[in-house]
């Protein structure tokens, strides 16, 4: 019974998933810090309102805290923007540099007699007249 558990735990996809969850949590903390400590104060400086949570209105004794919704919406947009510009764009640029395009299919071949470039479909060399098999 313990051997089966050990085999399950040491299987590659379980370990990969655990590493992915831990790295995702750590990355989420970094993104939250960027949004909370850098981007939100920047928006607050531009809008001259650092926190929208005080914005409310009341109808028949019910409070509508639309400021909290605005804060959540801004936080979501800032997270999306920061992930896109600080993760997606650099990773795409890196993958473009790393990825090598395969060479195009050849359209010519060398004549075995005179080594001139001739079309692939040629049956005779245009330069020396050699029959190409």
Q: Looking at residue 45, what is its pLDDT?
A: 84
Residues of the chain with pLDDT under 50: none
HEC sequence for 14-61: HHHHHHHHHHHHHHHHHHHHHHHHHHHHHHHHHHCCCCCCCCCEEECC
Highest CATH level, class, for 2-98:
mainly alpha
Contact criterion met (CB below 8 Å) for 108 and 120: yes
pLDDT at 46: 85
Query: What is the reported pLDDT for 62?
Result: 92
SS3 at position 78: helix
**111 Cβ contact partners less than 8 Å away, ≥ 6 residues apart:** 117, 118, 125, 127, 128, 130, 132
State both tokens at 18. 């655990």
What does the domain layout of the chain look like in residue ranges?
2-98, 106-133
pLDDT of residue 12: 67
pTM of the full structure: 0.51
Q: How many CB atoms lie within 10 A of CB 97?
A: 8
> What's the DSSP call for residue 126?
T
Tens of pLDDT, residues 73-105: 888 888 888 888 988 899 899 888 888 777 888
């Amino acid at each position: 019974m313990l051997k089966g558990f050990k085999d399950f735990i040491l299987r590659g996809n379980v370990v990969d998933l655990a590493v992915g969850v831990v790295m995702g949590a750590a990355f989420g903390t970094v993104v939250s810090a960027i949004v909370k400590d850098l981007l939100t104060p920047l928006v607050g400086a531009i809008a001259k309102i650092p926190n929208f949570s005080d914005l409310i209105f009341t109808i028949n004794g019910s409070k509508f805290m639309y400021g909290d919704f605005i804060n959540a919406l801004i936080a979501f947009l800032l997270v999306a923007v920061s992930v896109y510009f600080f993760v997606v764009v650099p990773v795409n640029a890196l993958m473009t540099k790393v990825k090598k395009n395969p060479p195009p299919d050849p359209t010519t071949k060398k004549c075995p007699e005179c080594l001139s470039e001739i079309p692939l479909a040629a049956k005779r060399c245009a330069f020396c007249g050699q029959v190409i098999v």
